[in-house]
């Protein structure tokens, strides 16, 4: 009986979680005449959904935002994960002098909300001529992803027996070789989990994209999606909902492809 109750609770919770998605799909499939005229619970048709998808992709310039965000969400967390792993390796395996103090310095950047540094950040970007550039966006996304990466990798590497490092050193392996050949391959699950979390954060970012970019070829997809709802965007609500569905698809695919690594990484288990 307990197993049946558990399954029933999980089914109900799953349906509640899927309910907003159904409402998005149902209303994104309506044309202009249907939206507001019929119940929000009744779906439109596949033709209306395809038309709204096309309108959001082309007129809303969602396509430009997706390609830019794909670049940011792949490159920035990838670099940040490697840097964070290096920091954790230096603190735990190399026993860096005052290692905990260095860790606090790295992690303390997450203490203050990003809203507090937006204005100085904007001024610095303008003065350095990296405002509204791909390099500038990659830089800020990489920087804000490093502290969490260092935090997780430091905790992950602390589970490694130090004798493993000592044995490799006795065999003549350099610290660089030990990091790349021993520590990093055994931390795949944690690396993937960090990458997924940071990539999802970057994909869903609106604030930094609005502040540090303005052109359609540079700005992330979330500011492009928000622009659909403005006076200048002039898009109908079904088109906006279709744009939201388009934007959600890549992160869903990412989680489905890497869920096994993600689960192990959250449990700090080794691959």
Same domain, 37 and 106: no
For residue 37, being part of any structural domain is answered with yes
Residue 36: its pLDDT value, please? 76
Same domain, 94 and 5: no
Who contacts 26 (Cβ-Cβ below 8 Å, separation ≥6)?
Answer: 40, 41, 42, 43, 44
Number of domains in the chain: 2
Residue 270: its pLDDT value, please? 44
In terms of residue numbers, what domain contains 13?
1-44
Question: Alpha carbon 61 to chain centroid distance?
Answer: 21
Closest CA to 150 of 106, 190, 197: 106
pTM: 0.86
d(CA 237, CA 31): 10
Same domain, 15 and 129: no
Residues above pLDDT 90, as percent of the chain: 39
Same domain, 27 and 158: no
Q: How does pLDDT run across 245-270, given as a tens digit for each residue?
A: 999 888 888 888 877 776 766 665 44
Q: Which of 146-150, 160-164, 175-179, 262-266 has the lowest mean pLDDT?
A: 262-266
Same domain, 59 and 101: yes
Same domain, 108 and 145: yes
Closest CA to 193 of 127, 135, 264, 89: 264
Same domain, 132 and 211: yes
Mean pLDDT of 136-140: 96
For residue 271, being part of any structural domain is answered with no
Residue 1: its pLDDT value, please? 54
């Amino acid at each position: 009986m307990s197993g049946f109750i558990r399954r029933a609770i999980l089914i109900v919770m799953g349906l509640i979680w899927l309910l907003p998605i159904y409402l998005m799909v149902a209303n994104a499939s309506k044309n202009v005449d249907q939206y507001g005229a019929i119940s929000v619970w009744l779906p439109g048709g596949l033709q209306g959904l395809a038309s709204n998808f096309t309108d959001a992709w082309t007129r809303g310039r969602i396509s430009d935002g997706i390609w830019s965000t794909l670049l940011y969400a792949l490159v920035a967390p990838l670099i940040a994960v490697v840097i964070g792993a290096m920091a954790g390796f230096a603190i735990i395996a190399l026993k860096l002098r005052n290692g905990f103090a260095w860790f606090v310095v790295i992690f303390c950047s997450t203490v203050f909300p990003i809203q507090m540094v937006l204005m100085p950040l904007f001024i610095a970007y303008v003065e350095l001529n990296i405002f509204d550039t791909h390099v500038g966006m990659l830089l800020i996304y990489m920087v804000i992803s490093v502290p969490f990466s260092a935090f997780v990798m430091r905790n992950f590497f602390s589970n490694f027996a130090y004798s493993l490092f000592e044995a490799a050193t006795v065999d003549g392996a350099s610290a660089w070789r030990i990091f790349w050949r021993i520590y990093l391959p055994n931390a795949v699950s944690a690396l993937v989990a960090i990458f997924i979390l940071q990539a999802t954060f970057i994909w869903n970012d609106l604030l930094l994209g609005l502040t540090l970019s303005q052109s359609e070829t540079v700005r992330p997809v979330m500011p492009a999606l928000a622009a659909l709802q403005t006076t200048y965007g002039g898009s109908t609500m079904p088109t906006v909902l279709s744009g939201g569905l388009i934007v959600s698809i890549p992160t869903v695919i990412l989680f489905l492809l890497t869920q096994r690594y993600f689960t192990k990484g959250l449990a700090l288990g080794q691959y």
